[in-house]
Amino acid sequence: MDSCVFCNVSLKRLNHLIGEDESSIAFLDRNPIARGHVLVIPKKHVEKVDELSSEELRNYFVFISRVEKAVIEFAGVGGGCDIINHYHPFLEESELVKKHLHFHIIPRHFNDGVFRGERLSLSDDEMKAIALKLSSILKNQRD
C-alpha cells in the first residue's frame, strides 16, 4: 500500500533498523515506552494476524522469536520482555496509529514502571546507539 508508512519503512527508517529477513522487518518504535522497544512487521500489508497464510505466519513468528531473544539479551541480566499486538478497528481512522500488522517487543525489568503511559524522549543519537546494539545482537545469534 503506497499510503502506508510501514510498507515503506525500510527506506524511511534505516537509522533505526534492527534487522530483516525475506518476509519480516524489525525497527525501533519512534515513541518508545522503554529503551529497546522494537516493532516487528510482516513486509506484506495486512491488518491482522489471521490474514497471513500458515506459512507466512510461521515465517513471521520465527522472526519475532529471534527478535524476542535479542531484546531479552539487550535487556541484560534478569531482563525479560513483553510481546504485544493490538487490533482496534473501533478507533476512528485518525486515532489509528498504524493499520499495518505489527507486534511490539518491549524489554522489561522488575518494577520498571513501563505501561504507566509515559513515552521516553530519546535523542536520535541514543536511538541510533540502541538500534546498533540490538542489530548486532540479532546478527550474531546462533540458530
Point out which residues bind Zn ion (CB under 5 A).
1, 4, 6-7, 45, 100
CB-based closest residue to Zn ion: 4
With left for phi above 0 and alpha for psi between -120 and 50, is residue 76 left, alpha or beta? left
Q: What is d(CA 33, CA 107) in angstroms, rounded to the nearest whole number?
A: 9
Closer residue to Zn ion (CB): 4 or 84: 4
> Please, what is the minimum distance in Å from the beta carbon of residue 118 to Zn ion?
28
3-class SS of residue 52: coil
Q: Minimum distance between the CB of residue 134 and Zn ion, rounded to whole angstroms?
A: 22
Grid cell in block for residue 29: 518504535
Minimum Å gap between C-beta 100 and Zn ion is 3
Query: Please, which residue, 1 or 97, has the CB nearer to Zn ion?
Result: 1
Q: 46 or 122, CB closer to Zn ion?
A: 46
Residues 46 and 101: beta-carbon distance below 8 Å: yes
